[in-house]
Each structure stands twice: as structure tokens, then as C-alpha cells.
Amino acid sequence: MVDFELVAFPPSDHPEPGDRAPDFTRPLVTDEYWEDRTLSALAAESGGVCLLFYPLNWGGKSRYWWGEIQDRGWPVEEPAVVGVGISQPFDHRRFADFLDLSYPLYSDPGNDVARAYDIVHDLDGMEGIEEPRPAVFVVDEELLVEYAWVAEEWPQSPPFDEVEAAME
């Protein structure tokens, strides 16, 4: 680990266990096409969703996180593991191809989903670009939050073991 202080994120009013997660509709990019998908419909059909807000496609964090999740064989149903990132759909498509990713990715270039969850990360030194703060929400079929993790420092990786336990 590094022996200097990381950048601390400010406090966040993000959804906590027992809260209902904000619903949203965004293009969901799968290996065959993308279409507008509403989170509540996806959760109802998939027996819950594990929503992973992750940093910029192609960066070390996104590649490592998704590689780790692939290796761990996280589920595609009950709950469905799904990413949220700011790339436009063609880029999500390429990124998923590159990683041979089994999980669909929501495309949210305006970062408004992160805003609704109060986890906006305004990227220092990149004027006009923001992304979600690293975060994981496990929700049930009715969007009730069962587990929430939101990074308190940048960069901080999700607690993979803890998330895995929460999904069981």
C-alpha cells in the first residue's frame, strides 16, 4: 500500500441499505446490441441487480476491476452484475469486447445516474469531465438496497469479498 494520504471524497448522501435505489433508464450495452433499459425492469426480471459504478474505460482501475470480477465469476442473474460508466455505447462495446466481458454496461455520458445516487466524482485536471465515484449497490427485485459501498478515497477498489458475500 502507499504510505501517503489518498484524496478523501466529501461526505455523500448516497442510498443506504433499506432505502429504495433511484430508478433510471439508460442504454444498456450487451454483447449484441444496446437498448434503453430501466433499472427497475432489469431488477424485476433478473432477481436483483449488483450495480457497479466504475472509473473510465481503459484505465487501469476499470480493466483490473472487471478482470477481477470475471475471474471470480460473479453472477449474471440473481443478482445481475451490471456496470455504470460514462462512455458512449460504441466505446462500452469495444471495451467489453477487449475484456471478453460477460456483464452488460450502462452508458451514462452525462453522469446523471451518479448524480441521482450522489456519487459524482469531478475529475481533477480534466475540465468538463466527471465520472461516478467508485461504488457498488446490491438491490433486490424492487430496488430495495441490500448492500452499499461507496469509495471514501480516490482511488479505492471495491471490497470484492464483501460484495460477493452480500450477493449470496
- Which residues contact other proteins by CB under 8 A? 25, 27, 31-38, 40-42, 44-45, 89-90, 93, 97
Cβ pair 21, 53 in contact under 8 A: no
List helix spans (H) across the chain. 39-46, 60-72, 89-99, 112-116, 160-167
Nearer to other proteins, 68 or 97 (CB): 97
Beta carbon of residue 156, minimum distance to other proteins (angstroms, whole number): 33
Residue among 55, 58, 26, 22 nearest 122 (CA): 55
Beta carbon of residue 40, minimum distance to other proteins (angstroms, whole number): 7
Nearer to other proteins, 25 or 156 (CB): 25
Beta carbon of residue 141, minimum distance to other proteins (angstroms, whole number): 12
Nearer to other proteins, 44 or 123 (CB): 44
The whole-angstrom separation of Cα 47 and Cα 160 is 20
Q: Which grid coordinates are listed for 127?
A: 475540465
